[in-house]
Structure 1
Amino acid sequence: MKNIIKFSIILLLIINIFSISVLIVNADDGLLPDKESVPGAACNSSNCGNYSLNDMVSVALKISTFILSIVGSLALLAFVAGGLMMMLSAGNPEWVTRGKQTLIGAVIGLTIVFTSYMIIYFVYQSLDITQPLKGSSWFTSDWFINKTKK
C-alpha cells in the first residue's frame, strides 16, 4: 500500500512538472493573432476589436495544436505506467490485466488524436490555408462593411 501511495505521489509530481513546462513554453503566444502580422492592417486586433472569421479559425487551430502537444506526453506517461504495472505485477494477474488495459487505452487514445490531427490538417489543406498560424487570410468577405453608409 505504501508503494502505491509513493508511486502516486511521484506520478503527480511528474505530471505537474510537464504541465508547468508546457505553460511556460506557450506563455508567449496569445490565442488571437495580432493584426500587425497581416499586411495592410493598421492596428492590433485586441486593440481594434475587428475580429474576422480568419481570427476564429486561427484560435481553433492554436487550441487544437496545444491539445495535441499535451496528448503526446500523456500517452507516453500512460505507456510507462502500463509497462510498470505489467513489470511490477509479480505474477498477479489482476495487475497484468490492468497494465494491458492501460496500454490498449493509450494506443486507442493516440489513434483518435492522430486521426483528428489528420482531419484538421486535411480540412486546412482542402481550404488552401497555407500558414494558418502565421496570419494568412483565407476567407475574405466585406459584405457587412459599408452597408450602413448607403
Structure 2
Amino acid sequence: MDGIRQRARSSAARCGGIEWTPAIGARRKQQRNQRIMALSRRTRAHHYSVYVVELSDAVWNEARFRRANPDYVLGKPFVYVGMTGVDPDVRFDKHKAGIQSNRYVREFGLRLVPHLYEMYNPMPYDGARDMEVELAIGLREAGYGVWQA
C-alpha cells in the first residue's frame, strides 16, 4: 500500500499538484465518452435507410402473408420493406445468413430492389421509421404483396 501512495504523490507532483484518484479518472473517461458520443451523433445523424427486398412467388403459399395482403394484384411482385442503420446490402446479407433476420427474407428473399428505395436514403432514425411504414402502405396500395415487420 505504501508503494501505491508514493506513486500517487509522485504523479500528483507531475500533474501540477492535483492528486489522481480513481474517481477523477472515471469522471474524465465519462466526459471523454460523452464528447465522442455527441460528435458521432452529429456526424451520423442521417445514416439510417429503408430498403425493399423482392420475395419469391412461393411466399404466396404462406397463409399469414396472404391474410396481410388481401388487395394483392395478380402479377405484381412480393416484397419485404425494412429499415436499417447499416448499408442495405449488408443488412440483406445478414438476413440471408440468419442474423437478426426476418423469416420471409431468409427463406424467400431474392434480391434488393434499389429503384424503390434509393431516393429516400439516407435519413435520420425517426424519418426511416416513418418512411418504412409509408413505403409499405404505398406499395400495398399499388397492388404489391408487402410484408413489413
TM-score, L = length of structure 2? 0.31
Compare the two structures and name the one with the higher strand fraction: 2
TM-score, L = length of structure 1? 0.31
Q: Which has the larger radius of gyration?
A: 2
Q: Which has the higher contact order (CA 8 A, sep 6+)?
A: 2
Compare the two structures and name the one with the higher helix fraction: 1
